[in-house]
């Protein structure tokens, strides 16, 4: 046994690692290196391990303190007598945060921990997201513009909603007052009414270079539908009528029937005509040859509004 320890001590001395006592001979030699490829959420940890003639396994410990809350999987370093490189990538890091790490190696003679080193992840650039719910929205009805400010320093930052109305030939103008992001960077701007198709964006008022993508909110016409009868003899006539908001005259309308394939088929049509109180009206009489589901489709022109349909009406026929 004494000869075995002496031989191991001689091997360790040749490898450049001087053991403090005979009992420590054969323990791995460990050197923690600098972290490389440090990015917002990832980094590579590096070091060197000398197995000192015994089968050795190494791993890194890391965390935001010297308690090292995380550990990489073990990697075999062999059983040589010279130092070999140890490196491994890590992820799921937090931006703008200092991390501690060290290299640890273990073999039959014991465990050796390298010195503590640190690195700091970069700040995450700020970025804005934005979406409208619902979209499209019915004329005069509400929607919510909501999103998130992501990145380092995203909490309690002032964001401003801006609007550009169709035909989008003017610049963006502010809508309401700015608000502060919440503790997760979130924000929401409720709109009680959208007058016509419009573009929206949000920006940081204290850093106007941070701007969200533009979201187009489409405004649908509102279609009301009435019929004279819902139970008729085959071949009888039924009159479809109703109103459309907003009041855009000469807008095409179509009466559609749900086909066996599940697609709506146009069977007749007309145009809207002037009425009162900010509405236009339509009317069309058709012959009902078969019962089924019917609806009125109203188009839109010019881009201010988008098409929409009225309620589905089931018409029953009998002989």
Domain boundary among 78, 102, 120: 120
Residues 234 and 214 in one domain: no
Residues 143 and 240 in one domain: no
Residues 10 and 106 in one domain: yes
Model-wide pTM > 0.75: no
pLDDT digits (tens, 9 = 90+) for 154-188: 999 999 999 999 999 999 999 999 999 999 999 99
CATH number for the domain spanning 154: value is 2.60.40.10
Residues 6 and 116 in one domain: yes
CA distances from 99 to 41, 88, 120, 135 (A): 11, 15, 6, 44
Looking at residue 279, what is its pLDDT? 81
Percent above pLDDT 70 for the chain: 92
Q: For the chain, how many residues are written? A: 319
Residues 249 and 184 in one domain: no
Q: Is 130 left (phi over 0), alpha (psi -120 to 50) or beta?
A: beta
pLDDT digits (tens, 9 = 90+) for 271-291: 999 987 778 999 999 999 999
Looking at residue 301, what is its pLDDT? 67
Residues 210 and 251 in one domain: no
pLDDT digits (tens, 9 = 90+) for 89-110: 999 999 999 999 999 999 999 9
Cα 235-238-241 angle, rounded to 5 deg: 155
Residues 165 and 261 in one domain: no
Q: What confidence tier does 14 reach under pLDDT thresholds 50, 70, 90? A: very low
Other Cβ atoms within 10 Å of 119 Cβ, number: 18
Looking at residue 151, what is its pLDDT? 94
Residues 112 and 152 in one domain: no
Residues 204 and 142 in one domain: yes
Looking at residue 303, what is its pLDDT? 83
Residues 13 and 86 in one domain: yes
What is the C-alpha to C-alpha distance for residues 62 and 120, in angstroms, rounded to an integer?
A: 12
R_g of the chain computed on alpha carbons: 36
Residues 83 and 101 in one domain: yes
Residues 172 and 263 in one domain: no
Residue 11: partners with Cβ closer than 8 Å, 6 or more residues away? 52, 53, 81
Domain boundary among 120, 155, 189: 120
Q: Into how many domains does the chain fold?
A: 3
Query: Are 258 and 297 contacting, i.e. CB atoms less than 8 angstroms apart?
Result: no
Domain boundary among 218, 235, 263: 218
Domain of 199, in residue numbers: 127-218
Looking at residue 278, what is its pLDDT? 72
Residue 16 has pLDDT above 60, yes or no: no
Q: What confidence tier does 247 reach under pLDDT thresholds 50, 70, 90? A: confident
Cα 113-115-118 angle, rounded to 5 deg: 125
What is the C-alpha to C-alpha distance for residues 309 and 69, in angstroms, rounded to an integer?
A: 58
pLDDT digits (tens, 9 = 90+) for 207-220: 999 999 999 999 99
């Amino acid at each position: 046994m004494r000869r075995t320890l002496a031989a191991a001590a001689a091997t360790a001395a040749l490898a450049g690692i001087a053991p403090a006592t005979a009992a420590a001979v054969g323990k791995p030699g460990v050197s923690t290196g600098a972290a490389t490829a440090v990015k917002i959420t990832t980094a590579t940890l590096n070091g060197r391990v000398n197995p000192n003639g015994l089968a050795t396994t190494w791993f890194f410990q890391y965390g935001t303190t010297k308690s090292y809350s995380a550990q990489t999987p073990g990697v075999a370093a062999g059983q040589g007598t010279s130092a070999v490189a140890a490196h491994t990538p890590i992820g799921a890091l937090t931006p703008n945060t200092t991390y501690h790490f060290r290299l640890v190696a273990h073999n039959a003679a014991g465990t050796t921990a390298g010195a503590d080193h640190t690195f700091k992840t970069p700040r995450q650039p700020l970025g804005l997201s934005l979406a409208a719910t619902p979209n499209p929205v019915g004329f005069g009805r509400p929607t919510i513009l909501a999103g998130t400010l992501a990145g380092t320093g995203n909490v309690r930052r002032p964001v401003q909603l801006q609007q550009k109305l169709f035909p989008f030939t003017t610049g963006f103008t502010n809508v309401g007052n700015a608000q502060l992001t919440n503790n997760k960077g979130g924000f929401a701007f409720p709109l009680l009414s959208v007058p016509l198709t419009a573009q929206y964006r949000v920006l940081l008022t204290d850093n106007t270079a941070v701007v969200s993508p533009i979201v187009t909110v489409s405004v649908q016409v509102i279609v009301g539908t009435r019929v004279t009868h819902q139970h008729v003899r085959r071949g009888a006539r039924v009159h479809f009528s109703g109103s459309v908001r907003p009041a855009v005259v000469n807008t095409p309308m179509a009466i559609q029937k749900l086909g066996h394939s599940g697609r709506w088929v146009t069977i007749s049509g007309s145009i809207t005509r002037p009425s009162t109180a900010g509405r236009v009206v339509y009317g069309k009489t058709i012959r009902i040859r078969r019962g089924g589901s019917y609806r009125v489709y109203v188009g839109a022109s010019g881009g201010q509004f988008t098409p929409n349909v009225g309620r589905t009406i089931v018409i029953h026929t009998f002989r």
